[in-house]
Amino acid sequence: MGVEERLHFGLKTLLSIYMRKERLKMRLFFIVSVVLILVLPAHASNVGFEQIKISNGNGPPLVGGIWYPTDAPATEHGFGTFKQIVAQGGPIHGQGLPLVVLSHGGGGSFESNYDTAWALAQAGFVTAAISHAGDTHDDQSQVLHPWLRTAQLHQLISYMLKDWPGHDRLNNDHIGAFGFSNGGFTVLVAAGGVPDFSKIGSYCQAHPTHDLCQSLRQVGVDPSLITAISADKWVGDKRIKALVVAAPAFGFTFSPGGLAAVHLPIQLWRAAKDGHQPDPYYEEAVRLALPRPPEYNVVTNAGHYDFLPPCEARLARINPVICVDPSNFDRAAFHTSFNADVVRFFLANLR
């Protein structure tokens, strides 16, 4: 074989090897694309919304709301003290959708963290929240019975998986929980935490001016008389696989043993200027007690209520306490990044 023939043969060989590699790359690209299509639920462009009522034994039904992905046209709707752009009653889009349940702060309602619920639904999650009976803005009759909250959250999950008309669209193994303030405490208990409420007495003896201690005395409760609550009162829910916890109430009541069973991935948030639940007795106590280090975020210049959405004018008039921000803090800008981080965390841990 001459030099020219050998050169021609070598080029053909190299070209053949190159083409085989390119075909292999294309096949791999096709396989990966198919896997992604099969694994990841398709995102809808809009958010659907519906209000629900859940049976609550002998008491009035639990009132709630569900946000979910939809392709239906969305328009602005007013709900209580806020407005949101949703397709009310629109059809659900997607299959095998992850579920996130939300637990609001003390004196709130299922609407309290609506912007976070909306952001999760826009990202392909179904989000559901209830107004915790006895700890809402119009009914504080059960605020000293926080174990009822975890039982109600358990009811919400069961309703979503069994009785909600769209339950067959959910992935029962991909369930997360989000909680703010009293709701943060609620989801920690739901994940297996067992608090020791007998610690409230010594806490208030050492910190009588803290909000919790003053609030208890205002309603005629002597903190020193609060005793430990039987462990069987706290209802855990092993269906929950990941938590986002913002400014959790009663953090100091969790000893390391009290959170020993909580091995879930957790995103924990603290407001640097939280005068309502001062550091280090709340988030820091939880962080140190968790057996698995959480993803921990401290929000510079933020106050306790900055984990709630920016207030519209009507709410600011009705309840200015939760609407006034510390100086040099932009709540609207924070919620853009906060909701994006919450979505990122649940995407990483529920899919």
Q: Which pLDDT tens digit goes with each residue over 250-262?
A: 999 998 899 999 9
Query: What is the model's pLDDT at position 138?
Result: 85
| Averaged pLDDT for residues 99-108 | 97
CB atoms within 10 A of CB 296: 15
Q: pTM higher than 0.75 for the full model?
A: yes
Edge-to-edge strand order for the sheet containing 82-88?
75-79, 82-88, 46-56, 59-70, 126-130, 97-103, 170-180, 242-246, 266-271, 295-299
16/152 same-domain check: no
Which of 33-47, 86-100, 290-304, 314-328 is the least confident region? 33-47
pLDDT range class, residue 275, cuts 50, 70, 90: very high
- Kindly state whether residue 253 falls inside one of the protein's structural domains: yes
**52 closest CA partner among 89, 107, 94:** 89
pLDDT at 37 over 50: no
Please check whether residues 271 and 122 belong to one and the same domain.
yes
What's the token pair of residue 136?
Answer: 């809402």
Does 128 have pLDDT greater than 80?
Answer: yes
Cα 261 to Cα 191: distance, rounded to the nearest angstrom: 8
Same domain, 33 and 50: no
Beta bridge mates, 51? 65
Choose among 144, 180, 143, 184: nearest CA to 286: 184
Output the pLDDT for position 40. 42
Give the pLDDT confidence score for residue 20 in this predicted structure: 53
Residue 15 CA to residue 11 CA, distance in Å, equals 6
Residue 290 lies in a domain: yes
Residue 318 pLDDT exceeds 60? yes
Average pLDDT, the chain: 88
Asked if the model's pLDDT at residue 23 lies above 60, the reply is no
pLDDT > 90: percent of the chain = 76
Note down the domain range covering 268: 43-195+234-350
Instruction: Count Cα atoms within 13 angstroms, Cβ side, for 248.
Output: 32
**219 inside domain:** no
Does residue 208 fall inside a structural domain? no
Confidence of residue 235 (pLDDT cuts 50, 70, 90): confident
Closest to 255 (Cα-Cα) out of 191, 206, 193: 193
Which range is least confidently modeled, 29-38, 59-68, 76-85?
A: 29-38
Query: Exposed/middle/buried for 231, CB within 10 Å: 0-12, 13-18, 19+?
Result: exposed
Alpha-carbon distance of 36 to 252, in angstroms, equals: 43
The per-residue pLDDT for range 142-186, each reduced to its tens digit, is 988 999 999 999 999 999 999 999 999 999 999 999 999 999 999
| Banded pLDDT at 43 (limits 50, 70, 90) | low
pLDDT at residue 21 in the model: 46
Please indicate, yes or no, whether residues 113 and 31 belong to a single structural domain of this protein: no
Looking at the fold, whether 274 and 346 belong to one and the same domain comes out as yes
Same domain, 277 and 297: yes
Same domain, 159 and 288: yes
For residue 44, what pLDDT is reported?
Answer: 67
pLDDT value at residue 314: 85
User: Alpha-carbon distance 322 to 248, whole Å?
Assistant: 16
Q: Which among 179, 155, 51 is positioned nearest to 103, based on CA atoms?
A: 179
Residues 182 and 269 placed together within one structural domain of the fold:
yes
Question: 225 CB contacts (<8 Å, ≥6 apart)?
Answer: 201
Residue 217 covered by a domain = no
The verdict on 238 and 276 lying in the same domain is yes
Task: Report the domain count for the chain.
Answer: 2
